[in-house]
Amino acid sequence: MEVGRSKAGIQLSQRKYALDILSETGLLATKPSLVPMESNSKLSKTEGPLFHGPSLYHKLVGKLLYLTNTRPDLSYSMNLLSQFLDTPRVLHYDALIKVLKYVGNGVFLPANSTLNLVAYSDANWENCPDTCQSTTEFCVFIGNSLVSWK
């Protein structure tokens, strides 16, 4: 983990680790994605052809899960993609590549933010087409700094 401090605030990141993953996958020079995953993505365990390299999928998911320590914005996407480790499909790998293209700087904790406590939550009823389970998410900010999430 890298910690950068300036008058503006503190930057927590795993920049070298993220750049190593992008370099290893040949995505270092590709156009970055603005979002890790489309908000209306519904991935299924049975849709589409099987991915030809499940060990590559496992390896990349594992590396990106480690990256969620400083990238809470990746948590939902990686939780979803982790559900397909047993039989990854081409659609799952494509979604994983989109997450890889999104990987960026990390979490910034600004020095001049207010001490307001703000929380957001969301729920999605029967979001998973395979299990019909719902998902619930939340994030808590103190000022502009993310301090807790699920």
Inside any domain, residue 98: yes
* pLDDT at res. 126: 66
Does some domain include residue 46? Answer: yes
Domain span holding position 75: 2-111
Is residue 122 included in any domain, yes or no? no
- Domain membership of residue 8 (yes or no) is yes
Q: What does the pLDDT profile of the chain (150 residues) look like in tens digits?
A: 888 889 988 887 788 888 888 899 898 888 888 888 887 778 888 999 999 989 999 999 999 998 887 777 788 889 889 999 999 999 999 999 999 988 866 667 788 877 788 898 887 766 666 666 777 778 888 777 777 777
How does DSSP assign 51-95, residue by residue?
Answer: PS-HHHHHHHHHHHHHHTTT-GGGHHHHHHHHTTSSS-BHHHHHH
In a domain, residue 139? The reply is no
In a domain, 147, yes or no: no
The count of structural domains within the chain is 1
Query: Residue 96 carries which side chain, given as an amino acid letter?
Result: L
